[in-house]
Amino acid sequence: MKFGFFSLAFSFGIYLSAQSITWDWCAMAQHEFQIQASGPNLECDITDAYWDKNSAVLHVYLSQKAFGYVIEPQRLAMHIDAQGTVLFKTGVAVKKLSEKITANSFRNTEISIAGAYLKSVLHSEVALQQINTRTDEAARLQVNSSQTEIIESQKAFYYDENTGQLIAAFKLVWQRPDEHSVQQIIVADEDVTVLQHSERVLSCELIPGQFSMNQNRIVSVSAPFAAPDASYRVFAQPTESPSHGSRTLIVNPHLLNPDASPLGWHDDGSGSSTYTRGNNCLSYEDRDANNAPEADSNFADGGADLRFDFPLHIDTIPEINKDASVSNLFYWNNIMHDVWHRYGFDELSGNFQADNFYRGGLSGDRVKAETLDDIWEARNNANFYTPSDGTSPVMQMYVWQQPVYDTIICSTLSGFKRKVPYIQATVSKPLKSPFTGTRLILGVGIPKYLSAEAILVRDLWAPWSDACDSIVNSSELQGNIALIDKANCYPDLQALHAQKAGAVAVVMMSDSDEYPSSLDNSSYGSLIQIPVMQVSASDAAILMQHLNKPVSIENRLPPLLDGSFDAGIICHEYAHGISNRLTGGPSTVSCLDNAEQAGEGWSDYLVFHDLSPVGLSLSQSRSRYLAFWSSSKQASV
């Protein structure tokens, strides 16, 4: 059906004022979705509307309200051409609203319902402090005086598709940066029953498989624009990773689409920078997982010439390559911004920029791209958090490792052979999923190869083999591996006694067949200069059968690979931000929370689009892995 009163709106390439024309669009929605769009205590709420100059389509996103509260999780959208014809519409409206709404009565307040929910999850009381004052927005509540943990609470109605009833409810958004989590929960006002729960931080772990696709990508170079020269030594488009080619020094890549980044990549509209920060992206290392750069040293510095040309030693520890890593991540985030700006993910549609140059949409939301994130704990993953337009998304890139734990091969001449999990670190936090194993905070790394006899320690007091007291069989331990039983004293004290007795390594024998728990220490940890590892009770029992016999310990520690050198992962994660902002409109980013959604597939498609060589014909089939390099050529994201 055509609606002629829209013709004026299409002559402007700007974000349209929802308030000025809400009545017209709601009238269209009433017809298209066959709903009661207005009436006593009922409203039609236009959340976003913008004109896409690339497709010549007006996108209108709206929701239904009752008593001023949004009805969750329903969202509606209409996509209209320049003649006023609805080309496509999405969403399922709640019909006969006036029959379902009886009263506007809530038992709880925003603070009380948030407190009740957190208590049910955390099993303890929490202190909540409201940090905003506006009554027309969700209450922002600080959790236990934390500077980073926030829960938002807002009244809503929840439509139960099974019963057809509207339930008085609250929508909670719980931000837990320390857990890499932002959860959206809808709970019933009556009894805090969880009606809907979803995770807003999209994590992409290893998934076995291979993808194949025909793709033709064409990106032309625009005319030069007045922005500072800049160069980057990176795995440049379409080189995906170290497995696909070498780094090259790319000069002025912002000229690929100067309309997308008119000030270049290092000016955010309020000032220029020589660091990896600009209008589209902040790129920095976040090894301690505090979700913010602590100093300029967290960025890469290109100097006055903006020359980001740093050495890369791919076979060493990732921290050595921090500047190269940050630069590569910065480059690819900007490439994604500029390429998809050309295809319509621009300021109006909710893209990620600090300054929108008066082109519409909300500014202040450049991507925070974090490399080497949470390096002591996080492995084999990456994630992307997309808030609504005007708030910065966060991309977190981790190091990768196969297998997921460091492996020590422990064997004897008589046939005993076990793989032992071993993780050496400098902090004592418990490991996060998908890790299993022991975190040791004392001793040195396992050598490449160590062969010696396994000797059970004997000390002065019972129990005789826990090394909590001075060891009496030092002559036997000289140059050999000390087997020590689990004890009530600190492991670093046990290891210190073995070291003083001349042992070249320590194997702590657990009393459990579960993976050994974390080893605590006291004040002796810094004194330990020999390797310390722990085995399960069943493995310990086998080792005890080989006392005073040679035991070999072979180091099989795989290298840590920095995901920020894998453009397949970067593009995949960035694409989550694009699909989240486009599906429900820039203000509604929770439309892809359900299980049956195409977000992962769309992200994979955008990877192939951005990494396929120019000129690849549609008849050419390309089979490839995603996360090819990071996952050691074994799996895909």
Q: Any idea where the domains of the chain sit in the sequence? A: 4-100, 110-199, 220-400+562-624, 406-556
Q: In the predicted model, what is the mean pLDDT of residues 136-155?
A: 86
Please give the pLDDT value at position 514.
Answer: 65
Q: What is the pLDDT of residues 33-44, one digit of tens each?
A: 877 655 556 778
Cα separations (Å) of 413 from 116, 191, 386, 450? 60, 64, 55, 14
Contact 153, 172 (CB under 8 A): yes
**CB within 8 Å of 122: residues ≥ 6 apart:** none
Please give the pLDDT value at position 623.
Answer: 61
Residue 389 pLDDT more than 50?
yes
Q: In the predicted model, what is the mean pLDDT of residues 376-399?
A: 89
- CA-based max dimension of the chain: 98
Residue 49 pLDDT more than 50?
yes
DSSP string, 416-456: -EEEEEEEE-SS-PPPPTT--S-EE-SS-PPPSEEEEEEEE
Q: Please, which residues bridge with residue 285 across strands?
A: 371
Residue 591 pLDDT more than 90?
no
Fold held by 220-400+562-624: Elastase; domain 1 (3.10.170)
How is the chain split among helix, strand and coil, in percent rounded to 5?
A: 20, 30, 50
Please give the pLDDT value at position 158.
Answer: 87
Please give the pLDDT value at position 458.
Answer: 94
Q: What is the pLDDT of residues 274-316, one digit of tens each?
A: 999 999 999 999 988 888 898 999 999 999 999 999 999 987 7
Fold held by 4-100: Nuclear Transport Factor 2; Chain: A, (3.10.450)
The better pLDDT of the pair 35, 370 is held by 370
Q: In the predicted model, what is the mean pLDDT of residues 555-562?
A: 69
The better pLDDT of the pair 220, 51 is held by 51
**CB within 8 Å of 126: residues ≥ 6 apart:** 115, 118, 119, 143, 144
The better pLDDT of the pair 550, 255 is held by 255
The tokens for 152 are 């938002």
The region of weakest confidence among 255-264, 406-415, 496-505, 582-591 is 406-415
Residue 523 pLDDT more than 60?
yes
Domain 406-556 architecture: 3-Layer(bba) Sandwich (3.50)
User: Do 4-100 and 406-556 show the same overall fold?
Assistant: no
Contact 413, 438 (CB under 8 A): no
Q: What is the pLDDT of residues 434-459, one digit of tens each?
A: 223 333 445 566 555 677 788 899 99
Contact 562, 372 (CB under 8 A): yes
The region of weakest confidence among 31-40, 70-79, 132-141, 386-395 is 31-40
The better pLDDT of the pair 553, 526 is held by 526
Q: What is the pLDDT of residues 218-242, one digit of tens each?
A: 223 333 346 789 999 999 999 999 9
Provide the 10 A C-beta neighbour count for residue 210: 11
Residue 254 pLDDT more than 90?
yes
Q: What is the pLDDT of residues 1-21, one digit of tens each?
A: 444 434 334 433 444 444 444
How far is 468 from 459, CA to CA, in rounded Å?
7
The gap from C-alpha 126 to its chain's centroid, in whole angstroms, comes to: 26
The better pLDDT of the pair 625, 571 is held by 571
Percent share of the chain, pLDDT over 90: 40
Residue 58 pLDDT more than 80?
yes
Please give the pLDDT value at position 511.
Answer: 83
DSSP string, 6-42: GGGGGG--SB--HHHHHHHHHHHHHHHTT---SBTTE
Contact 71, 64 (CB under 8 A): yes
Please give the pLDDT value at position 400.
Answer: 87
Cα separations (Å) of 583 from 69, 192, 345, 368, 598? 22, 29, 12, 22, 10
Contact 571, 332 (CB under 8 A): yes
**CB within 8 Å of 301: residues ≥ 6 apart:** 274, 275, 323
- Taking the chain, what is the end-to-end CA distance rounded to the nearest angstrom? 42
Mapped onto helix, strand or coil, the DSSP state of residue 197 is: strand
